[in-house]
Amino acid sequence: MMSRNNAAQLEKLGPDWRHIASLSEELRHAWLTDHFDQIASLSETERHQHLQELIEETQALDEEQRLGLLRAGLLALVDQPDDKARIVTQSWQQTMDEMKGDIAFAEVTSLQHAARHIPVEDTMRLGELWPRIFGRDFAGMI
C-alpha cells in the first residue's frame, strides 16, 4: 500500500527546488538555464504544473534561498532566446494569474525583489520579456 507522501512524490513533475536553491550561484544559473529551455518545449499543461510547483516550493524557502533561486532564474531567462524566454514568462504569468491571492502576490514581490540585485541591462531585458512584472512601473522602483 502506498502512503500519501509516496503518491504525492510520484505526481510531482519538477525538481526538488530546495536542493536547487542550495547549489552554488553558478550551478543554479546553469541548471535553471537548461531547465527553462526544457520547460519551453513542454505542453502548456506541463509548463503550468512545473511553474506552479516552482512558485509554491520557492515560497516555502527561507528568504535568502528564495531570492537566490529566483535571481538565478531571472538571469537564466535573460540568457534564453526571445521565443523561449517569452514562452516561459507568459506561462509563469498565466500560472500566477490562475493561482491568485497571497501566493501570487508573494511571488510577484519575490521576483521584483530578486531583480533588484541583478545588473541594470538584465533588468531592462526582463522589462522587454515580462513587461507586466518588470515594465516601466518597476523601473521607477529600482
Distance between CA atoms of residues 97 and 74, nearest Å: 19
> Hey, what's the cell of 20?
536547487
* Residue 8 maps to a domain: no
* Residue 91 maps to a domain: yes
Distance between CA atoms of residues 121 and 135, nearest Å: 13
* Residue 1 maps to a domain: no
* Residue 4 maps to a domain: no
Report the SS3 class of residue 23. Answer: coil
pTM: 0.84
Could you read off the pLDDT of 108-121 as tens digits, one per residue?
999 999 999 999 99
> Hey, what's the cell of 16?
526538488
* Residue 2 maps to a domain: no
* Residue 103 maps to a domain: yes
Residue 75 belongs to what domain range? 17-139
Number of domains forming the structure of the chain: 1
Could you read off the pLDDT of 42-83 as tens digits, one per residue?
999 999 999 999 999 999 999 999 999 999 999 999 999 999
